[in-house]
Amino acid sequence: MRRLRAYGVPEDRVIMTGFPLPGELLGGPDLPVLKANLAQRLVRLDPERTFARRAGPAIERALGPLPEQFRGRPPLVTFAVGGAGAQTELVRKFLPGLRDSIRSRRLRLALVAGVRSEVARRFHAWISELELDDVRGDGIRILYEPDPPKYFRAFNALLAETDVLWSKPSEIAFFGALGIPLVISRPVGRHERYNRRWAIEYGAGLRQRKTRHAGEWLLEWLADGALAASAWAGFTSLPKDGLYRIVDHVRNASTSS
């Protein structure tokens, strides 16, 4: 917005709406789908009720009673490599450290290859190398879809059940507003460094630690409530209404014309 103004665009021609999050993950201006997904997520992310003891009344006022039937379900960690396949090798580094947690059903893992078949092939190979083929499906899965529209629908469906989103801080950073805690890998480019700073300063993101110890620090963050706290911070602090603001502006412009 500041850059457009610097280029001489009149201020009354610049409208800041915010990032348009997927409508199917919001459910409408009152966010019924987002809130239902978040309620389930907070239960899975807080197995020892560490965060709930601190924030329980605020959570209940916003979401109602939490669905306790989801307690004990292993949280789903989703790793997304980015549209260009950036940081694919990171999976090879952290997967051995997650092997025991996946086998013991303390964590589940989804690897997002996007529309890139070569990335999916490498994921399949590394899973086989670690002898995790027998837990494919529920314990570990790969999202690969060569058709972009189908991929975006599948990715949004995956996000609905995702408990932790691990990726570089591209536009993915804005998805913290859905109440999904972000584990932030190394940024690529200056704009991603700004995104990382923004997410962390609002409490929605945590910097990844050493990849080979991923299983340890993820479980530590579950036990001490750090991931649940990040989910809550993202939901309460980050803007969620960009999509509906855009719809309103387009509708108003159409009516006035």
From CA 136, how far away is CA 155, in angstroms rounded?
18
**Quick one: what percent of the chain has pLDDT higher than 90?**
86
pLDDT per position as a tens digit, 83-129: 666 689 999 999 999 999 999 999 999 999 999 999 999 999 999 99
Q: 207 pLDDT exceeds 80?
A: yes
Q: Parallel, antiparallel, or unpaired for β 182-184 and 164-167?
A: parallel
Classify domain 2-246 at the CATH class level: alpha beta
**Quick one: what percent of the chain has pLDDT higher than 70?**
98
Q: 42 pLDDT exceeds 80?
A: yes
Instruction: Please report, for the chain, the start and end positions of each structural domain, with discontinuous segments joined by +.
Output: 2-246
